[in-house]
Amino acid sequence: MNGRTLIIKMPKQMQVTEQGAGATAAGRMAGGERREQIVRVAMRLFSERGFRGTTTKEIARAASVSEAIIFRHFATKEELYAAILDMKACAGNMSQLRETFAESVKRGDDRAVFESVALTMLQHHEEDAEFLRLLLYSALEGHELFKMFWERNVRELSDFLRNYVRERQKAGALREMEPRLVGRAFAGMILHQSLSNNLFDKSRSLLDISNERAAREFTKILLHGTSTKPPPEADAKKRNETATRKR
C-alpha cells in the first residue's frame, strides 16, 4: 500500500476465483463475507504496523487469499479505507449519537447533552482501541483514512458542539466565549482520557475511574469550572451594579 492507486487487470486465463490460490485454507466465502474478512484483517495489520509498513501481499497472506482477490473487492486503496470506516460505523456515528440525546437538546439540558457525548466517545474508544491506534497511525502518516475520518466524524461533532453552545449562549445559559473553543476543550478532555486508558496507561496507574464518572466530572468542569470564585467579568458586573445603586 504505497501512495499510488491500486488497480489491477488480469487476463481471464490468469484470474483467480474465490476458490483459487490462497483461498483454500479459509474455505469458500460469499462475496460479502470475504470483503468483510479482508477489511478486518487489513484493519488489524494497519493498527499494528501502520499503513506504510503493511503491504497488500501481507494482507492477502493473513486473510488466506490471493492479492487478486483483494483487488477484486477493492479496486483502489480509497475503497479499502472507506470500507474500514463504514465497518466501524464511523460515518453514521454522529447521527446515532444525536438520536441518543435529541430530547435533552430540546429541553436545553446541558448536563445530559455533554455527559452523553462524553460517555459515548469514551465507551466507543474503550470497545475499539484497535481503531484508535489505527487513527493515530493514519494521522501521523498523513494518511487518507484520517482525512476521511476527520471530515465524516470530527468536523461533524465539532459543528454540533459549536451550534449547541452558540444556541445556549443566546439563551443566556452559557457564558459568552468562542463556541468552537468550548467544544475543543471538552473533546480534548475526553480524548486524553481515552488515549491514557487505552494506549498510554492501560493499568490506569495515574487515574482509575469509570467512564460514567469521567463523563460526569468532565461535564462539571465544562459547565462550572473548578474555581469557587466568580469569573472576573462577574466581579466587574457586580461592582458596576453597586456603583450604580450608590448614585
C-alpha to C-alpha distance for 165 and 182, rounded to whole angstroms:
8
Indicate whether 29 and 121 sit together in one domain.
no
Indicate whether 76 and 100 sit together in one domain.
no
Last residue of a domain, one of 53, 85, 117: 85
Indicate whether 81 and 98 sit together in one domain.
no
8 Å CB contact between 90 and 152? yes
Last residue of a domain, one of 39, 55, 85: 85
For the chain, where are the alpha helices, taking DSSP H only? 31-49, 56-63, 67-73, 77-87, 90-100, 102-107, 110-127, 129-140, 144-149, 155-170, 179-195, 211-224, 232-246
C-alpha to C-alpha distance for 129 and 132, rounded to whole angstroms:
5
User: pLDDT at position 5, please?
Assistant: 38
What's the CATH code of the domain at 204? 1.10.357.10
Last residue of a domain, one of 85, 114, 149: 85
- Name 181's Cβ contacts closer than 8 Å, sequence gap at least 6: none
Q: Is the pTM of this model over 0.75?
A: no
Is 46's pLDDT higher than 60?
Answer: yes
Indicate whether 206 and 99 sit together in one domain.
yes
pLDDT band for 182, please (50, 70, 90 cuts): very high
Indicate whether 193 and 145 sit together in one domain.
yes
DSSP state of 14: G
What's the CATH code of the domain at 43? 1.10.10.60
If one counts every other C-beta atom within 10 angstroms of the C-beta of residue 178, the result is 12
Dump pLDDT digits (tens) for 187-203: 999 999 999 999 999 99
Q: Which domain holds residue 76?
A: 12-85
Indicate whether 72 and 170 sit together in one domain.
no
Is 176's pLDDT higher than 80?
Answer: yes
Q: How distant, in Å, are the alpha carbons of 7, 39, 76, 216, 234 from that of 17?
A: 17, 18, 19, 53, 72
For 108-178, where are the alpha helices, taking DSSP H only? 110-127, 129-140, 144-149, 155-170
Please tell me which residue, 198 or 234, carries the higher pLDDT value. 198
Indicate whether 103 and 213 sit together in one domain.
yes
Residue 246 cell numbers, joined? 450608590
Indicate whether 143 and 105 sit together in one domain.
yes
- Give the HSE-up count for residue 72: Cα atoms under 13 Å, Cβ half-sphere: 18
User: pLDDT at position 16, please?
Assistant: 36
Indicate whether 93 and 52 sit together in one domain.
no
Residue 163 lies in a domain: yes
pLDDT band for 111, please (50, 70, 90 cuts): very high
8 Å CB contact between 135 and 146? yes
